Amino acid sequence: MVLSALFNTTWIEMKRLSRNKYFIVFSIIMPFVFYAVYTTTNNAEMGISGTKWKGYFLVSMTCFSLMSSSVSTLGIQMIYDKKQPWMNWLFTQPLQRWKYFAARIMTQMVLNLLVILFMFVIAAQWKNIELPMTTWMGIVLWIWLAILPFLALGTWVSVVENTESAAAVANFSTLGLALLGGLWMPLQEMPALVQIIGPWLPSNLYAEGAWSLLAGDAIKWSTSAVLSLYFLLFLTGSVMTHHHFKKTTYLSDT
Amino acid sequence: MLSMRSVTKSFSKTSVLKGIDFQLEKGESVLLLGPNGSGKTTLIRLLLDFYKPDEGEVSWMESMGARVGFILQEPSLMDRVTVKELINYIRSLHKNPLTYAEAIHNAGLVEQENVLTERLSVGQKRKLLFALALIGRPELLIMDEPTAGMDLHARRSFYAQVQGLKEEGLTILMTTHLLDEANLLGDRVLLLDQGVITKDQSVASISYEQRTIRFALTDREPYSARLKEKGFRQIERGWELVTSQADELITWLVSEQIPFQQLTIEQQSINDFFESSVRSQH
């Protein structure tokens, strides 16, 4: 029953998320359009960090897509759902809360994988990006698994009570982290202060792992270690804040 | 089947439930009545473990397990899924669920099975909520104002379904504002007012024990004192009294040779019971 409830909840949540216009626009259309524009207006064959712009920016935009989906879509959707009476109703059924929330994370992971494959297959065909299969697989796995800190950040954002405020927080953090982390423009071309701060941001560390693999290098242990610390920080923050709000929430309906 | 003992619940400094005691026996159909803000929804939510009581305890019969069906007050359903997808998902959570055909038949939404839930009307949402609550073959059905927003036709169909479930032995606890539903669906009425259960009695006893005596009197003056002493209250063209001792009082009127006219004896309706009970508390 445990696996069946998890699987069935994941399946229905995947259907719900795939029908979410916000997810389609911000996690699929927008990153792809930006990729198309930036690789068409710039020289796609230009060399950067040991690789070519067309591959480098594909990694950047795929990382941005998954960050946007994991922080904004997941966080805002969780706030919206939390306010819906059906959510309480669902827990009167034989379904424990942890299973439901685990299914939400699994849903996000499955759709993230589909987004990565969508971006990579289309871009590789269109821009003729040729890499050894092991390199492709390494990059896919890294982008897919190293998203965990951002999923934790998404659940942390979901503690904000008001959907509009949460959207502002989520979009500000996603866009801010993407910009300052060098996902929109290489850090080398950013102001000196950003070049100092940028490498320590989770967004840069996240993309940095994939950029290293793209250039044929190994992922630095410090990248994985600092990103893991971010994961622990966001997860702890999320759990503690949810716990605090659960204890102090005032429910007025009688 | 379930009981609440000395349960209290407050939100911030507002005391919503103040020492609730009641038991629900297997096969009973109990209506929870009360004015707005009396604590009905909080009581239901405590039963469903949405809230924890501040004091007291809520006990369930051990074998109940998960076999409780619940219908929300709000017609709220998981969105961006079709009726069919939602029914099948809820079925997948239960060990021995109704078949899809049974569930969609209960909902009466065969033609809407591929419609997204957010596109259903309020009445259709309520029908689907009812069908979802029955999917796990519950032994106890808890309903929080389930007919709100239903048209007359949908309401009649709902009453027929609930009557059928009662005949099958399902235990029912239901809150309502529609007092006539108590006559139709309830065996017992709990009256909740300002967080306290002020009445707990069978529907039959409300109808038969309490009766209203009403009569006209052409010359009031000589009899006023004696009638008031017995508890009668003066109305426009005579006197009236709600009592559980109607027969004795009529014998008394005759023995006192009071020249009453147009005597009527009415059984008390649920509406009268509700109004008089709530009025007497304020």
- Token pair of A104, please? 């939400």
CB contact under 8 A, A254 and B136: no
| Surface of B (75-104) touching A: CB under 8 A | 76-81, 85-86, 89-90, 92-95
φ, ψ at B85 (rounded to 5°):
-65, -40
pTM of the model as a whole: 0.77
> b/e per residue, A16-32, with b = 16+ CB within 10 A?
bbeebeebeebbbeebb
| Residue B157: burial class (beta carbons within 10 Å; 0-12, 13-18, 19+) | middle
Tell me what the pLDDT averaged over chain B comes to: 85
Determine the Cα–Cα distance for residues A234 and A151; give it in Å rounded to an integer: 9
A12 touches B: beta carbon within 8 Å: yes
Tally of domains within chain A:
1
Enter the DSSP assignment of B261: E
φ, ψ at B53 (rounded to 5°):
-70, 150
Residues in a beta bridge with B240: B214, B233
ipTM: 0.79
CB contact under 8 A, A86 and B51: no
B chain contacts of residue A90, beta-carbon cutoff 8 Å: 78
A9 touches B: beta carbon within 8 Å: yes
Among A105-114, B28-37, B265-274, the range scoring the smallest mean pLDDT is B265-274
Q: How confident is the model at residue A110 (pLDDT cuts 50, 70, 90)?
A: very high
- Name the percent of chain B lying above pLDDT 90: 20
Nearest residue, CB atoms, B80 vs list A11, A19, A90: A19
**Nearest C-alpha of chain A: how many angstroms from B245?**
37
* Angle between helix A163-180 and A53-67 (nearest 10): 160
Enter the DSSP assignment of B145: S
> b/e per residue, B221-230, with b = 16+ CB within 10 A?
eebeeebeee
CB contact under 8 A, B51 and A20: no
Size of interface A-B (CB pairs under 8 A): 71
**Nearest C-alpha of chain A: how many angstroms from B207?**
29
A chain contacts of residue B83, beta-carbon cutoff 8 Å: none
Summarize pLDDT for B159-209 with one digit per residue, the tens.
888 888 888 889 999 887 676 777 777 788 888 888 888 888 887 777 666
CB contact under 8 A, B78 and A16: yes
B54 touches A: beta carbon within 8 Å: no
- Name the percent of chain B lying above pLDDT 70: 90
Q: Give CA B132 to chain center in angstroms.
A: 21
The boundaries of the domain holding residue A247 are 2-253
The nearest alpha carbon in chain B to A95 belongs to B93
Summarize pLDDT for B89-128 with one digit per residue, the tens.
999 999 899 999 999 999 989 999 999 999 999 888 999 9
Give the list of residues 6+ apart from residue B99 with CB closer than 8 angstroms, or none: none
Q: Check if the beta carbon of residue B31 is closer than 8 Å to that of residue B190.
A: yes
Determine the Cα–Cα distance for residues A109 and A66; give it in Å rounded to an integer: 9
B chain contacts of residue A92, beta-carbon cutoff 8 Å: 48, 68, 70
B12 touches A: beta carbon within 8 Å: yes
B chain contacts of residue A11, beta-carbon cutoff 8 Å: 89
pLDDT of residue B131: 94
Q: Which helix (H) or strand (E) holds A53?
A: helix A53-67
Give the list of residues 6+ apart from residue A65 with CB closer than 8 angstroms, or none: A26, A27, A28, A30, A31, A115, A119
C-alpha dihedral (A66, A71, A74, A78), degrees to nearest 10: 180
> b/e per residue, A82-120, with b = 16+ CB within 10 A?
eeeebbbbbebbbbeeebbebbbbbbbbbbbbebbeebb
CB contact under 8 A, A252 and B11: yes
Q: Check if the beta carbon of residue B140 is closer than 8 Å to that of residue B2.
A: yes
pLDDT of residue A181: 92
pLDDT of residue B269: 67
Q: How far is CA B87 from CA A131, B72, B81, in A?
A: 46, 16, 10
Cα torsion angle, A219, A221, A223, A228, sign = positive
Determine the Cα–Cα distance for residues A139 and A71; give it in Å rounded to an integer: 21
Determine the Cα–Cα distance for residues B2 and A80; give it in Å rounded to an integer: 33
Q: Does residue A74 carry a pLDDT above 60? A: yes
Summarize pLDDT for B29-78 with one digit per residue, the tens.
898 888 888 888 888 888 887 788 899 888 876 655 558 888 888 889 99
A chain contacts of residue B177, beta-carbon cutoff 8 Å: none
Between B276 and B81, where is the model more confident? B81
Strands across the sheet containing B238-243: B233-235, B238-243, B211-216, B261-267
Q: Which of B192, B176, B184, B151 is nearest to B269 (CA)?
A: B184
Q: Which of B19, B7, B87, B95 is nearest to B45 (CA)?
A: B7
| Surface of B (144-183) touching A: CB under 8 A | none
**Nearest C-alpha of chain B: how many angstroms from A39?**
35
Helix (H), strand (E), coil (C) string for A94-111:
CCCHHHHHHHHHHHHHHH
pLDDT of residue B207: 63
CB contact under 8 A, A94 and B66: yes
Give the list of residues 6+ apart from residue B156 with CB closer than 8 angstroms, or none: none
Concatenating the DSSP letter of every residue in B53-85 gives -SEEEEEE-GGGTT-EEEE-SS----SSSBHHH
Give the list of residues 6+ apart from residue B97 with CB closer than 8 angstroms, or none: B90, B91, B103, B135, B136, B137
Determine the Cα–Cα distance for residues B123 and B119; give it in Å rounded to an integer: 12
